[in-house]
Chain A
């Protein structure tokens, strides 16, 4: 990374380090206690080792100077090595180094309780593992005798303070392709974001107050794609959903324009995903302008843009936010009635608009719905359908859905027959009459059909009773004759 503002950055860093060192020197100013001096008397000499049962040994040497500067420099040895004192040096036998570290890590937890550990996402998983039986070994990552105050000491209260020393100023980097991009972080956005409690290094893995590795990306796009990898460390559920998405497939095939986390969610000023429907829909518009304008003109889109109606479906309601599947597949198509039914069969949502909630039920019980039902369960090996069966979107449209409520039945019928002819080209203009318009037959809707249905039912019941009576009487007579 060729940093244009490298000198500025360096000077900022140097200043910060000096400040940090002064802070540490303050702590180190307190002289070591007698006990510590006694211990270091031996433990700072070369050649002192701890031997394990497995024959291996490890050095037990403590660098006195480093220890004084370390975060733990002011506390006595026996605070952690609880069984030891100036008088007492018990012999401990451990099978191997691992078990020794596990044992010692218990001491850490006296001061660093679970609540404190949980404030760092990296610890949450480890704590969970510990609950599951894998012991937590602090010293695998943290060297207890040499660790400096992790969060920058007293002056810099948090790591963010430390990073922001430089990253609020307009620093630029130049990518290998020559593009120059500012590295300044929008502090106001960050403190209002959902991640305001996190430290910089929670996402910028590998960076800390000590480390600032140089990264060389060819383009800004490469950088964004690589940076999006960091999100999965916490949002693994969402990340694994994206693995099934058409976006990920596109990216995999080399289409670098395919969106990654940052493209939709932003980076430092990340807001909750589903707070504002219009904002969410607009994210998709960035790439799918044509579809968005069709949607914006639809009955759903208009209600969203004009009335800010929060009941209407937005892109992610049908396409999903992370597991965005290819909508042209059979599987997707076969799921459409359920998708529309999520709202249109739900009285709570759709009732207030005076629309029928019978649409899904009537669809599923008519020829198209039954066929779809069986196609869905064909379990792979079954015969592939000759042609796809009609689902909601085939008659109503997809992004450009219009309201069907019109007082002019003739217009509805002419429009409808156009949809019918897509699959039934020989359909006459009266063909829509064969369909009950998503209504269950009743005295108000399709009274003739309702009456015939009722008459059939009565006839059937009548006959069932007649036949059973005849059989029972016959049996009874036979029994009493014997």
Chain B
């Protein structure tokens, strides 16, 4: 079967570059969250445990700051690759938020509430994925900037007013909260606990997505890539058959 003609069972979604990037950031994220959490909630037994097993608060701070540097590195390469990719290699820019994402969100809300029959038809990234991507991207930039300010307060204060340090502290811990919530609740739900992917979404392991899922979740992208025109019924059909496949797989 041939992917180009749109008859293969699985369709490539992510390159190995993106998969490695994802898991590298995941490891950095977990170490940052654990060491940051231990500093913010210093009185909890779990924090004490983390600090004790990492060799003391000074060691925890070294780990946190090193991981922070790695996150900044990951961010920098991501942005550099994205900018140069878009400028020179004509990369797909579908991850940019458009007006369509807002209407999609409203459409889906209506669909969830049972006001309309069909969910929104999304492209390569649906509005939820974009929300998560941009949330984590901008959040990480904010974390990097405030983190550096908290790391080198005396340097920052040479140029900027002193009040920025307590503000950076508030933003840093608050944004950490937002990011942890995004990842542990939203992302983990969407890639593990959501009944549509349970027990786990394999895209970030194999880089491939099943045809049925692509048709039901990214119909616009499917149409663009394979030149096919999907009727609303096809969407529905695909989504039903996927559930059946999923159920038989499970049994």
Contact = CB atoms under 8 A, between A and B. Distances in A.
A374 B181 contact: no
B56 A378 contact: yes
Contact of A431 (B55, B60, B154, B182): B154
B57 A375 contact: yes
B39 interface: yes
Contacts of A441: 166
B162 A382 contact: no
Contact of B154 (A370, A427, A482): A427
Interface stretch (B16-24, B83-91, B169-177): B169-177
A473 interface: yes
Contact of B52 (A379, A432, A433): A379
Contacts of A385: 56, 58
A470 interface: yes
Contacts of A371: 57
A463 interface: yes
A411 interface: no
A454 to B, nearest CB: 10
A478 interface: yes
Contact of B167 (A432, A449, A470, A474): A449
Contacts, number: 109
Interface string A355-390: 000000000000000110111011100110110000
Range, interface on chain B: 35 or more
Contact of B114 (A428, A431, A480): A480
Given A374-B56, A431-B157, A460 B178 contact: yes
A370 to B, nearest CB: 5
B119 to A, nearest CB: 8
Chain B's interface: helix, strand, loop or mixed, by majority?
helix
Interface residues of A, number: 47
Contacts of A428: 154, 157-158
Nearest to A457: B174
Interface stretch (B67-75, B96-104, B188-196, B219-227): B188-196
Interface string A444-482: 001011001100110110011001101101111110101
A468 B163 CA distance: 34
Contacts of B128: 470
Given A427-B157, A428-B158, A441-B166, A382 B52 contact: yes
A424 interface: yes
B161 interface: yes
B4 interface: no
Contact of A426 (B48, B113, B154, B194): B154
A433 B157 contact: yes
Contacts of A373: 42-43
A348 interface: no
A91 interface: no
Contacts of B112: 473-474, 476-477
22 contacts: A371-B57, A374-B57, A374-B60, A386-B58, A426-B154, A427-B154, A428-B154, A428-B158, A431-B153, A431-B157, A434-B166, A435-B166, A446-B163, A449-B163, A449-B167, A456-B170, A459-B178, A460-B181, A467-B186, A473-B112, A475-B195, A477-B111
Given A374-B42, A453-B170, 14 more contacts: A377-B51, A383-B55, A434-B157, A435-B162, A446-B166, A456-B170, A456-B171, A459-B178, A460-B178, A463-B181, A470-B186, A474-B112, A477-B111, A478-B196
Interface of B: 39, 42-43, 48, 51-52, 55-60, 109, 111-114, 128, 153-155, 157-158, 161-167, 170-171, 174, 177-178, 181-182, 185-186, 189, 194-196, 243
What 10 A-B pairs have minimum CB-CB distances, sorted nearest first? A433-B162, A374-B57, A434-B165, A456-B174, A383-B56, A473-B112, A382-B56, A434-B162, A477-B112, A426-B154
